[in-house]
Amino acid sequence: MPIDTPGMPRCRVGTMKSSHSRSSKGTLCTAGKRRSTSHELTARQKLFALEYLKDFNGARAAVRAGYSARTAKAAASRLLTNVYLRAEIEQAMDRRCEKLELKAEDTLQAISNLAHFDPRRLFDDKGNMKDIHTLEPDVARAISGFDFVTLYDGNGDQKHAFGQLRKIRLRDSLKALEMLGRYQKLFTDKIEHGLDDETKRLLIEKLDLTNATDEQLQELCALGTAGNQREGS
């Protein structure tokens, strides 16, 4: 039975639907988009998810979460294929973006501004460098730092400053262009799928081949041979 409450949207008891709404500041929010997955994960898996969000480096996150440094790479690869753990990471990223009011359009626009930045905007019509407080916000964001060097003339008591050399360091526009190219799928990276030696050793130790059939053993040998050929090519 529908329930009408003043000032609230109409909803139906016993049902819940995924919905999208925008906050007063325009940030896209999601409700009911993903189910909670915390009950599906162990304490160490949850810790790995938290550590992974710090730098998005799987191996380092695995070590910080308490996994062996010797097998951290293999552990991270296995953990990141866990659908529940991936959902946990995505939920945390959604919460972070919502808190910071981050939108994909804003990020893409910022990268585009850096990629196409024109250094001439740092100077006035007479070729003089503008004062930092007069720069437009997008121009100021293209600057990564400053170097100031005072120029001196004379020696001893005659030494005196006669000017200042100002250097401006700009952000890497080539890197920004590369990020735009990847977003537009202009580049194709070759990804090698294979197992490192340590992972292979651990896999062999875990395999019980005592009851394997001749056909299964032949398939395993064929897989190993194919993997070695890819590594050697």
Please tell me the predicted confidence (pLDDT) of residue 62.
92
Is the Cβ–Cβ distance between 65 and 51 less than 8 Å? yes
pLDDT tens per residue, range 41-79: 888 898 999 899 888 899 999 999 999 999 999 999 999
pLDDT tens per residue, range 137-191: 889 888 888 888 888 888 888 888 888 888 888 898 888 888 888 877 887 655 5
Tell me the torsion sign for CA atoms 129, 132, 137, 143: positive
Question: Rounded distance, CA 130 to CA 111, Å?
Answer: 23
Cα 139 to chain centroid distance, Å, stands at: 25
Is the Cβ–Cβ distance between 122 and 129 less than 8 Å? yes
Please tell me the predicted confidence (pLDDT) of residue 31.
38
Write down all domains in the chain, each with its CATH number in brackets. Answer: 18-102 (1.10.10.1400), 108-180 (no CATH)
Please tell me the predicted confidence (pLDDT) of residue 18.
42
Look-up: residue for tokens 């050697």?
232
Mean pLDDT of 18-36: 42
Cβ neighbours around 41 below 10 Å, total: 18
- What pTM, to 2 d.p., does this model score? 0.39
Question: Rounded distance, CA 30 to CA 166, Å?
Answer: 48
Please tell me the predicted confidence (pLDDT) of residue 151.
85
pLDDT tens per residue, range 94-146: 888 777 776 778 888 888 888 889 999 989 999 888 888 899 988 988 888 88
Look-up: residue for tokens 């994960």?
41
* Mean pLDDT over the full length of the chain: 74
CB neighbour burial string for 152-182, b if at least 16 within 10 angstroms, e if fewer: eeeeeeeeeeeeeeeeeeeeeeeebbebbee
Please tell me the predicted confidence (pLDDT) of residue 124.
92
Is the Cβ–Cβ distance between 221 and 204 less than 8 Å? no
SS3 (DSSP) at 3? strand
Please tell me the predicted confidence (pLDDT) of residue 215.
73
Please tell me the predicted confidence (pLDDT) of residue 156.
82
